[in-house]
Amino acid sequence: MKRREFYLQDDQSNKYWTVEVQGKEVVTTNGRIGAKPRETRASFDDAGAALREAEKEVLAKRRKGYLEGDLSAVPEYVPGLPPRFVRINHDDYHAQYVGKTAGGDQFFLTFPFVPRLGSETGGEYIALYLFDEFGLLKEAKVYSEHEQGLTTKTAIQEFTAQLLAGLGKYKFADIKVAPFSVERFGRPFGLIFDPGDEDDGNDEPYITVTVEPGNYMAFNPPWDGDYDT
């Protein structure tokens, strides 16, 4: 394995990690971006064992949120970055339909809405977000209940069941996914990061990731699954 470079920049971290297989050794370096690296060497019985260990470590880093890329091209760290992951704990309320598929993907089925206020006509939606095993968005399907003709609670439940069935085998479970935003129906949908306002008089900005539209789930540091409604 040639040298591979990874980095993690979010609201709490600014660090990197590299890995390389040299014969029977796995050589890694890590540290804060811009700081002197710390090197570690581990020896194995043969080159195959070293390669398997390196691949295992790469997978572990990816699951922690590290991204692969050229370290020389990583932008300078600035405060106020979004979290790498937000945990969504399965519950019987707004997180009723979160879980994992048999193939290892993660999903979040939810019900965004736009209130009918003033000139805003409003609207109610069903959104199914699919993420890979590392928490990155793969697909966003958003449906208007009005356009789908879903005028009763039973119709909405049946449509929801169809979307879940389309996932194949799955189980409800806690998930960890990255904030994201996609545009549908002329507005942003997703888990949207808000760095807060530094000029609101508080010592620190009020940082949130909210499910939009509707702002009906608001996550805060330490992003452990608790949310406000």
pLDDT value of position 200: 56
pTM of the model: 0.90
Contact status, residue 126 vs residue 156, Cβ threshold 8 Å: yes
Total domain count, the chain: 2
pLDDT value of position 121: 76
Say how far apart CA 82 and CA 180 lie, in whole Å: 10
pLDDT digits over 116-144, tens only? 877 777 899 999 999 999 999 999 999 99
- Statement to judge: residues 127 and 188 lie in one domain: yes
pLDDT at 24 over 80: yes
pLDDT digits over 80-97, tens only? 899 999 999 999 999 999
- Statement to judge: residues 53 and 98 lie in one domain: no
Contact status, residue 109 vs residue 164, Cβ threshold 8 Å: yes
Residue showing tokens 């356009």: 147
- Statement to judge: residues 132 and 210 lie in one domain: yes
Q: What is the CATH number of the domain that holds 58?
A: 2.20.140.10
Would 161 be classed as within a structural domain? yes
- Statement to judge: residues 51 and 110 lie in one domain: no
Would 79 be classed as within a structural domain? no
pLDDT at 79 over 90: no
Give me the domain span that covers residue 13: 4-73
To the nearest 5 percent, what fractions of the chain are helix, strand and coil? 15, 40, 45
Q: Provide the b/e sequence for 77-90 (b: ≥16 CB within 10 Å).
A: eeeebbbbbbbbee
- Statement to judge: residues 48 and 108 lie in one domain: no
- Statement to judge: residues 110 and 221 lie in one domain: yes
Q: Which of 15, 44, 73 is the last residue before a domain boundary?
A: 73
Instruction: Return mean pLDDT, the chain.
Output: 94
